[in-house]
Amino acid sequence: MDQSIINSYNEAKKLYAAHGINVDEVLEKLAEIKISLHCWQGDDVQGFLFKDKELSGGIAVTGSYPGRASTPDELRKDLEKALSLIPGKHKVNLHAIYADTDEKVDLDELEPRHFANWVEWAKEQGLGLDFNPTCFSHPKAADGFTLSHADEEIRNFWIKHCKASRKIAESFGRELGQPCVTNFWVPDGYKDTPVDRLAPRARLRDALDEVFSEEIDPQYNIDAVESKLFGIGSESYVVGSHEFYMGYGLTRGKAICLDAGHFHPTEVISNKLSSILMFSEQLLLHVSRPVRWDSDHVVTMDDELLEIARELVRGDLLPRTNIGLDFFDGSINHVAAWVIGTRNTIKALLRAMLEPVAELKKIELEGDYTSRLALVEEFKSYPFGAIWDYYCASQNTPVRENWLAEVKTYEKEVLSAR
Ligand SMILES: C[C@H](O)[C@H](O)[C@@H](O)C(=O)CO
Ligand SMILES: [Mn+2]
């Protein structure tokens, strides 16, 4: 390791030690945190099961940056590249449409064998896998309804798909020796104001009860449910609203998934973590960045990211929180998007772990809000960068922006040939 990185690290360590922070221990803890990299950033949410299907479900990818993956092998190669530039050992989050098979198989017939190549790859790479049923981009979702559809036949198709997804997830958990988090997000909703808000929600509740009717060992699979305020084409009403899934998750023992882009523009998820985990065992996060709407921009080191990280650290909520990413920007290099968003998420956690939490809590309890504000603000310019650089180097990943040259080379040698 470069001596200047070690020197800066040792100097920075002293400043943190003066506030009782053991930086070596912090880095050990940081290395334990797994971030789930969403495969769908790599190909603009296309998947491989149905070729040339338009993205539906009220989500949108903008941009046409060249080189996106169009086969499972390409996607895995791109993920490997991204992961080699990100410190730590992580997970990859698959959607059902990313099945790696030559068979012509519909969503309701998917089986673990259609993901065998993914499992083999995850084993080779030492990665965990997470999973999602894909309740969009399919003819049976064309009118915007899936699990809450009024037509029983369509509803049953989606129930079958979701059940199949849980079996696939269970197989991931068994094979990889770590739980697979299966996230259920359905886009169902109306563009315009509905007359009946209740009936679709009753259908969704019953459909989900059916989906979850089979017990699966939580050491293999953890179910999560994701709400949304609105989507494109479901501006007036979304069946699976926040209140719906708060109720559902809490009464059924399911993890609630909070996506940073699924709330009112000024509403933040950082302020929800401690409330939900007051009553729920587990949480799933979709760390994203909404810009004016649920635009799924690449995660940057903004105030909300830092606040999410602080909440997790200050409340000791990390052991009960599964951290997934959810953005899809088609306007920049797809591999770089993963690297930027994931490195930022880890860096934000590091920054939060380098705050004198015990001291700050004591000051707050004593009512010394002047010192609270002063210290929090001063810590914003403490030399966390030196610790981050050391961490990246010690994990054999590029320091600072050095990863960018590697992505540029990869773009020239691999992506541009696609
Ligand atoms: C592709 C994902 O399932 C999707 O992004 C979902 O998690 C979501 O956030 C929809 O807005
Ligand atoms: Mn999401």
DSSP result, 291-348: ESEEEEEPP-S-HHHHHHHHHHHHTT-GGGEEEEE----TTS-HHHHHHHHHHHHHHH
Q: What pLDDT does residue 51 have? A: 81
Asked if 346 and 222 sit in the same domain, the reply is yes
Report CA(399)–ligand 2 centroid distance (Å).
30
Number of domains in the chain: 2
Asked if 265 and 405 sit in the same domain, the reply is no
Q: How far is CA 2 from the centre of its chain?
A: 33
Report CA(205)–ligand 2 centroid distance (Å).
20
- Last residue within a domain, chosen from 354, 375, 397: 354
DSSP letter, residue 215: -
**The domain that contains 93 carries what CATH number?**
3.20.20.150
Q: What pLDDT does residue 52 have? A: 77
Q: Read off the tokens for 149.
A: 């559809």
Bridge pairing between strands 237-238 and 35-38: unpaired
Asked if 254 and 330 sit in the same domain, the reply is yes
Q: What pLDDT does residue 275 have? A: 98
Segments of the chain with pLDDT less than 70? none
d(C-alpha 44, C-alpha 75), whole Å: 11
ipTM of this complex prediction, to 2 decimal places: 0.99
Asked if 301 and 401 sit in the same domain, the reply is no
Mark out the alpha helices in 253-302 (DSSP H runs): 273-279
Asked if 131 and 84 sit in the same domain, the reply is yes
Domain span including residue 376? 1-32+356-417
Pocket of ligand 1 (CB under 6 A): 40, 45, 59, 132, 185, 226, 228, 259, 286, 294, 326
Asked if 159 and 207 sit in the same domain, the reply is yes
Q: Which residues surround ligand 2, an ion (CB under 5 A)?
A: 259, 286, 326
Instruction: Give the residue, out of 49, 182, 185, with the most ligand 1 atoms within 8 A of its beta carbon, to mutate for a pocket test.
Output: 185
Q: What pLDDT does residue 18 have? A: 98
Asked if 201 and 217 sit in the same domain, the reply is yes
d(C-alpha 280, C-alpha 320), whole Å: 9
Ligand 1 atom nearest to CA at 187: 10
- Last residue within a domain, chosen from 299, 331, 354: 354
Q: What pLDDT does residue 53 have? A: 83
Segment 264-289, tens digit of pLDDT: 999 999 999 999 999 999 999 999 99
Asked if 1 and 123 sit in the same domain, the reply is no
Sign of the dihedral through C-alpha 168, 174, 176, 177: positive
Candidates 358, 354, 345; CA nearest to 315 is 358
DSSP letter, residue 144: S
Asked if 345 and 365 sit in the same domain, the reply is no
Instruction: Give the residue, out of 36, 37, 56, 59, with the most ligand 1 atoms within 8 A of its beta carbon, to mutate for a pocket test.
Output: 59
Candidates 258, 388, 391; CA nearest to 320 is 258
Asked if 188 and 265 sit in the same domain, the reply is yes
Report CA(260)–ligand 2 centroid distance (Å).
8
Whether 294 has a binding-site annotation, put simply, is: yes
Sign of the dihedral through C-alpha 128, 74, 298, 147: negative
Asked if 232 and 378 sit in the same domain, the reply is no
Ligand 1 atom nearest to CA at 59: 11
Asked if 91 and 155 sit in the same domain, the reply is yes
Ligand 1 atom nearest to CA at 134: 3
- Last residue within a domain, chosen from 354, 385, 406: 354
Residue closest via CA to ligand 1's atom 3 equals 185
Give the residue numbers annotated as catalytic, written as ranges: 185, 226, 228, 259, 262, 286, 294, 296, 326
